[in-house]
Amino acid sequence: MKRGVTPGTFDPITFGHLDVITRAAQLMDEVIVAVAASAGKRPIFTLEERTALAREATAHLPNVRVESFEGLLVDFAREQNAQVIIKGLRAITDFEYEFQMAALNYQLAGELETVFIMSPPQYMYLSSSIVRELASLKSPVDQFVPAHVARALAQKFA
CA distances from 75 to 6, 9, 80, 108 (A): 14, 16, 9, 9
The site that binds ligand PNS (CB under 6 A) totals a number of residues, namely 9
Among 17, 23, 50, 87, the one annotated catalytic: 17
Minimum CB separation of residue 41 from ligand PNS in Å reads: 6
Clarify whether 128 is annotated catalytic: yes
Single residue of 4, 5, 8, 57 touching ligand PNS by CB under 6 A: 8
Question: Is 13 an interacting residue with respect to ligand PNS (CB under 6 A)?
Answer: no
Pinpoint the alpha helices (H) of the chain.
15-27, 47-57, 73-79, 95-108, 128-136, 147-156
Question: Is 84 an interacting residue with respect to ligand PNS (CB under 6 A)?
Answer: no
Residue 128 burial by CB count (10 A; 0-12/13-18/19+): exposed, middle or buried? Answer: buried
Question: Is 38 an interacting residue with respect to ligand PNS (CB under 6 A)?
Answer: yes
Clarify whether 65 is annotated catalytic: no
From 6-14, 50-58, 112-120, 143-151, give the range in contact with ligand PNS by CB under 6 A: 6-14
Among 23, 119, 128, 132, the one annotated catalytic: 128
Clarify whether 136 is annotated catalytic: no
Among 23, 50, 87, 90, the one annotated catalytic: 90
Strand order in the sheet with 64-69: 64-69, 30-36, 3-8, 84-89, 113-118
Clarify whether 90 is annotated catalytic: yes
Single residue of 44, 61, 89, 101 touching ligand PNS by CB under 6 A: 101
CA angle (101 as vertex; 99, 106 as ends), nearest 5:
95
The residues near 148 (Cβ < 8 Å, ≥ 6 apart) are 53, 56, 57
Which residues in this chain contact ligand PNS in the complex, by CB under 6 A?
Answer: 7-9, 36, 38, 72-73, 101, 104
Active site residues: 17, 41, 90, 128
